[in-house]
Amino acid sequence: MAEVNKVVITGLGAVSPIGIGKEKFWELLIQGKSGIGKITYFDTTEYPTKIAAEVKNFDYDDYLTTKEANRMNKSTKYSIVATRLALEDAKLDVSKEDNPYAVGVILGLGVGGLETIEEQHKILLEKGPRRVSPFFVPMMISNIAAGEIAIKIGAKGPNEIITTACASSTHAIGTAFKLLQQGDAQIIISGGTEAAITPMSLAGFCSMKALSTQNDQPEKASKPFDKKRDGFVLGEGAGILILETLSHAKERKAHIYAEILGFGMTSDAYHITAPAPDGEGASRAMEVALEDAQLEPAQVDYINAHGTSTPLNDKLETLSIKQTFGRHAYNLKVSSNKSMLGHLLGASGGIEAIATALTIKEDLIPPTINYHDPDPDCDLDYVPNKAESKLVRYALSNSFGFGGHNGVLVLGKYNEKGR
């Protein structure tokens, strides 16, 4: 059997509701700062939910011309800025690579260009078909973010968008990991992007009764694993990571945040939105990821949970963790970034992989904020309200999506001498 390449993370780019750039994102995440507030993009008078985690102070001027930006959906703009931030962080200039076909882009995107679809549909109804933008199709199609990034930086290798709802980015990173392992590329830009805080999106999630309606104190509305949780909060942004084969990273003396060790994915094959009541699919995805990483459950120190703040998800994620880890589940630290960021849908796995890599690098675990009222069904250590210093050698990042899609990444400290 041929030896597989080791894969490492060398660059991080965040466009998030709590900050833009790795440094600001991490600083506020550790502080337990919420990015959730009243929706400013449109009038929410008739909506039961009036809150979301919007990206604030977003400035693309250093990365795109006004003409370019006007021809892009917001999710694409987020991904391009996050990619540039990640490349700068990695000190990587793709144009100087000997083989552009060894540089790929694999992203996750859940909803796609919904904002563009809504805007152009209104134009169609009010002004007729001749007034629909000639850029409508390339702006709204889901694959365009990966295409635009490749065009901007000259990446001619593997290129695709993966759409598996809230597991999209984790599946994208897992796919990139496997391609790098088997030598199909040397560098892959991966992660995800999403911009779905729109009138239609909010209306749909409200109709499903999936969202929190705790509008009076937006920053306290997302409370994963707390007994008074009542639904998730929509978020937006992009989380982009630079993944490289270890040999390529070492050759250019790159800074390494963490190593990707394993990936697992399964399907609940149960329901279009609800997780399986026995937690089996999520548990099996964690088991597969650990087997891929050649780790025993007892070696894991931390789980970056999917932790949506919905009654069913948090209860069943807790159950699945206990099924996978047995008694060791009570030794684990488990926390949810969504308590601060809201739920970035298809981009959530990307931004949470960044947080997991930084947790490993810094030995500092972000808290689950708004955790005050324990739920008997959620009885693990969720790092309530305050970050904790702890040696983190190995960590999982969980993502579970509508349709029963489960994805789990295993990250570990990079050790030059090997494990």
Residues designated catalytic: 166, 306, 343
Q: How far is CA 234 from CA 36, 67, 143, 279, 415, in A?
A: 9, 29, 22, 24, 37
Query: Can you tell me whether residue 233 is helix, strand or coil?
Result: coil
- Round the CA-based radius of gyration of the chain to a whole number and report it: 20
What is the distance between the alpha carbons of residues 49 and 30, in angstroms, rounded to a whole number? 27
Q: Are 101 and 157 in contact (CB under 8 A)?
A: yes
Burial class for 46, CB neighbours closer than 10 Å (0-12, 13-18, 19+): exposed
Q: What residues form DSSP beta bridges with 223?
A: none
Q: Are 322 and 215 in contact (CB under 8 A)?
A: no
What is the distance between the alpha carbons of residues 377 and 294, in angstroms, rounded to a whole number? 30
> What single string gives the DSSP state of each residue in 30-82?
HHT----EE--SS--TT-S--EEB---S---TTT--HHHHHTS-HHHHHHHHH
Nearest to 344 by CA among 44, 45, 74, 63: 74
What is the distance between the alpha carbons of residues 335 and 220, in angstroms, rounded to a whole number? 16
The contacts of residue 231 (CB under 8 Å, 6+ apart) are: 49, 209, 210, 211, 212, 213, 309, 310
Tokens 């609800």 belong to 274
Show the tokens assigned to 352: 């949470």
Query: Can you tell me whether residue 108 is helix, strand or coil?
Result: strand
Burial class for 40, CB neighbours closer than 10 Å (0-12, 13-18, 19+): exposed
Assign residue 48 a region (left: φ > 0; alpha: ψ between -120 and 50; beta: otherwise). Answer: alpha
Compute the C-alpha angle 199/51/20, nearest 5°.
95
* Chain-centre distance for alpha carbon 410: 14
Compute the C-alpha angle 294/298/301, nearest 5°.
95
